[in-house]
Amino acid sequence: MRAVLLHETGGPDVLRVEEIERPEPGEGEVLIRVHAASINPIEWKYRSGLMPKKVPSVLGSDISGTVEISRADGFAEGEEVFGLAASGAYAEFAAARAAMIASKPAGISHEQAAALPVAGMTAWQALFDRAALQRGQSALIAGASGGVGHMAVQFAKKLAGARTIGVGSSRNREFVLSLGADEYVDYTQQEVGEAVSGVDVAFDTVGGAMTRALLATVRPGGVLITIASAPPEDAALERGARADMLIMSPDSTQLARVGELVATGEVRVEIAEVFPLNEVPRAHALSESGHVRGKIVLEIGG
């Protein structure tokens, strides 16, 4: 099969398409013929050496495709599924554990489905599992136009019914408002900590200086959830608030729910650009820019 391999860390061009053996699905796994995959920032962090990764390796986890071989209960050969690959997503075939995939709703494309797993489950877990966001509360989402953020804005507004404030640059104002945000803070014009105060939940998908700046927006008793930096736990305690880091854990029930929300049109998934497999270096360069609107998708096969 064709796959994109990482042999050594470096710039986007270290990623090369090669012919390798198909992975063998283990017990409780399926082999998926991958139709589409999507890029998550952790993959350029692995590629660049910012985060450690064993090589050689096929990067990527988000996939959508067709079950080619099933060694798991509940999934039949020929079934369309989406979820997280165990063996690397930038490939024509990927093995996946049954617990990490769900049936792809007929109403969504493979490109849409591949864009959902990491972004959808991360946003879901941050807002609902960690922050227990409730109707009538307020939620501030930093990085509101990104892969995780644009899901979070819609979940906060449409599912929780929270007053939702997005944070991003000028060019994404209209986009984030169109997702349902009630307010928008343009971080290129205003300090978020000066523009907003008293929120119940702040969700940080940006990291760095933004994480600490967001703490000033949270009310005493409120919570800051970050997926991108160490949480400022002590500073949060001093304010009578809580700061927590989330590492997403795969949950196929949540995955199926997110798929249904897109299939019914309640939630939309924004696809910034679709690249063929041999253009993964361009896809990585775009992700690394830090300013993608929605998700970057790889179209792999039919």
Listed in sequence order, the residues at least 6 apart from 265 whose beta carbon sits closer than 8 Å to its beta carbon are none
- Using CB under 6 A as the binding rule, whether residue 227 contacts ligand NAP is answered as yes
- Using CB under 6 A as the binding rule, whether residue 95 contacts ligand NAP is answered as no
Q: Tokens for 15, please give them.
A: 């990623």
- Using CB under 6 A as the binding rule, whether residue 248 contacts ligand NAP is answered as yes
- Using CB under 6 A as the binding rule, whether residue 300 contacts ligand NAP is answered as no
- Using CB under 6 A as the binding rule, whether residue 61 contacts ligand NAP is answered as no
Nearest by Cα to 153 from 9, 6, 10, 293: 293
- Using CB under 6 A as the binding rule, whether residue 41 contacts ligand NAP is answered as yes
Cβ proximity to ligand NAP, 70 vs 217, nearer residue: 217
Pair 33, 87: CB distance under 8 Å: no
Considering only 60, 149, 232, 259, the residue that binds ligand NAP (CB under 6 A) is 149
Considering only 118, 179, 218, 236, the residue that binds ligand NAP (CB under 6 A) is 118
How far is residue 140's CA from residue 84's CA, in Å, rounded to a whole number?
A: 28
Considering only 292, 297, 298, 300, the residue that binds ligand NAP (CB under 6 A) is 292
Considering only 112, 172, 217, 254, the residue that binds ligand NAP (CB under 6 A) is 172
Give residues 182-211 in contact with ligand NAP (rule: CB under 6 A): 187, 205-207, 210
Least distance to ligand NAP, CB of residue 167, Å: 5
Dihedrals φ, ψ of 44, to 5°? -75, -25
Place of tokens 């997702």: 179
Cβ proximity to ligand NAP, 149 vs 259, nearer residue: 149
Nearest by Cα to 244 from 116, 146, 125: 125
Least distance to ligand NAP, CB of residue 237, Å: 21
**What CA–CA distances, in Å, run from 206 to 44, 212, 259, 299?**
15, 11, 25, 27
DSSP-based helix, strand, coil % in the chain, nearest 5: 30, 30, 40
Listed in sequence order, the residues at least 6 apart from 221 whose beta carbon sits closer than 8 Å to its beta carbon are 240, 241
Least distance to ligand NAP, CB of residue 77, Å: 31
- Using CB under 6 A as the binding rule, whether residue 126 contacts ligand NAP is answered as no
Listed in sequence order, the residues at least 6 apart from 236 whose beta carbon sits closer than 8 Å to its beta carbon are 215, 218, 224, 242, 243
How far is residue 139's CA from residue 142's CA, in Å, rounded to a whole number?
A: 10
Axis-axis angle for helices 147-154, 117-124 (nearest 10): 50
Number of residue whose CB is nearest ligand NAP = 146
> Looking at 85-93, 106-114, 246-254, 260-268, which segment touches ligand NAP (CB under 6 A)?
246-254
- Using CB under 6 A as the binding rule, whether residue 247 contacts ligand NAP is answered as yes
Chain residues in the site for ligand NAP (CB under 6 A):
40-42, 118-119, 122, 142-143, 145-149, 167-169, 172, 187, 205-207, 210, 227-228, 246-248, 287, 290-293
